Amino acid sequence: MPGKAQKRIRPGASMNPGDTIIAPGVGITFIVPEGWSGILPQKSEIAFLLPQRSEIGYLFLMARERDFSKISETLKKTIPLTDEISLISSREPEINGNVATGFYEVIGTINPSEAYVKAKEGPYGVAAVYALITTTDLMAKDQPLVDQMIEQTRFSEPREAGMYDDFDWSKRLKDKYLVQYKVAQNYRVKAEIWLCSDGTFTTKFKEGGPVKGEKSQYKGRHNGTWTAEGVGPNGKLTLNYQKKEPLVLDMKMEDEKAYVNSYRFYFLMNDKCK
């Protein structure tokens, strides 16, 4: 399974091992542990992960907008999951700064099971809560995954998700033709960039294109290899020319418009790649 991507959490979208998941609405960012994958079900506020192994295990992920002291008190209580299954507190919760940990026996399952719940309070009134349920013999193995997730969890001010939050420049620029037009009496091409998925490119700049100065060393037609980085509305495109210094271009998406070094460009499909 693919992983190690940066994604905005979406109902029905998969979360793979190593993925960095961003939930802008609650201001929480976490990393999916290796060996686990999951999903945020449609019309649900609780995501879950399952282990990629034969043994059963569940890891529930949620955000809670409430006073942290109330969350800590909740960890002392019995938590009903279904009509048959409940979590019974097995020891006093541990409080360490902005992290609270609860320990439970799971009642109602076929195999002896335990639960390990960890909550981390952020600076914006939202806590990340991760609840692991697994068999007793696997708890010692799985528990460190929750500790690691809590340690890696980051908080930001909650905000409405943006259109380009998960715009991956390295993927979106593959096999693209980037063109800039100069408007005078008629439209005419001022700059062209052909990017191929094999990592090669061709540029053809008139009057320097997106580089200031009409005597730019990049004027004319040139080739090389390219890389792109960044996830979100802003990114960078690096053009490594065969016989010139590398050129780093600032990329931006805004209001369904593309910009290269603040110049308006159009992104089209590149039909010249092999």
Q: Are 86 and 79 in contact (CB under 8 A)?
A: yes
How far is the C-alpha of 242 from the C-alpha of 118, rounded, in Å?
53
**What's the mean pLDDT when you consider all of the chain?**
88
Per-residue model confidence (pLDDT) at position 212: 67
Assess whether pLDDT exceeds 70 at residue 102: yes
How far is the C-alpha of 109 from the C-alpha of 58, rounded, in Å?
13
Per-residue model confidence (pLDDT) at position 211: 74
Q: Where are the domains of the chain?
A: 6-155, 169-269
Per-residue model confidence (pLDDT) at position 252: 94
Per-residue model confidence (pLDDT) at position 81: 78
Assess whether pLDDT exceeds 60 at residue 105: yes
Per-residue model confidence (pLDDT) at position 82: 78
3-state secondary structure the chain: CCCCCEEECCECCEECCCCEEEECCCCEEEECCCCEEEEECCCCCCEEEEECCCCCEEEEEEEECCCHHHHHHHCCCCEECCCCCEEEECCCCEEECCEEEEEEEEECCCCCEEEEEEEEECCCCCEEEEEEEEEHHHHHHHHHHHHHHHHHCEECCCCCCCCCCCCEHHHHCCCEEEEEEEECCCEEEEEEEEECCCCEEEEEECCCCCCCCCCCCCCEEEEEEEEEECECCEEEEEEEECCCCCEEEEEEEECCEEEECCEEEEEEECCCCC
pLDDT in tens, 254-264: 888 899 998 88
Assess whether pLDDT exceeds 80 at residue 241: yes
How far is the C-alpha of 257 from the C-alpha of 66, rounded, in Å?
39
Q: Are 156 and 29 in contact (CB under 8 A)?
A: yes
pLDDT in tens, 205-222: 886 667 765 557 888 899
Per-residue model confidence (pLDDT) at position 184: 53
pLDDT in tens, 142-200: 999 999 999 999 999 888 767 777 788 999 999 999 998 866 555 567 889 999 999 99
How far is the C-alpha of 34 from the C-alpha of 133, rounded, in Å?
17
Mean pLDDT of 234-239: 95
| Chain position carrying tokens 């369904």 | 256
Assess whether pLDDT exceeds 90 at residue 231: no
How far is the C-alpha of 81 from the C-alpha of 18, rounded, in Å?
28
What confidence tier does 1 reach under pLDDT thresholds 50, 70, 90? very low
Per-residue model confidence (pLDDT) at position 4: 65
Assess whether pLDDT exceeds 80 at residue 2: no
Per-residue model confidence (pLDDT) at position 144: 96
State which fold the 6-155 domain adopts.
Answer: Protein Transport Mog1p; Chain A (3.40.1000)
How far is the C-alpha of 252 from the C-alpha of 260, rounded, in Å?
7
- Quote the pTM value: 0.63
What confidence tier does 66 reach under pLDDT thresholds 50, 70, 90? confident
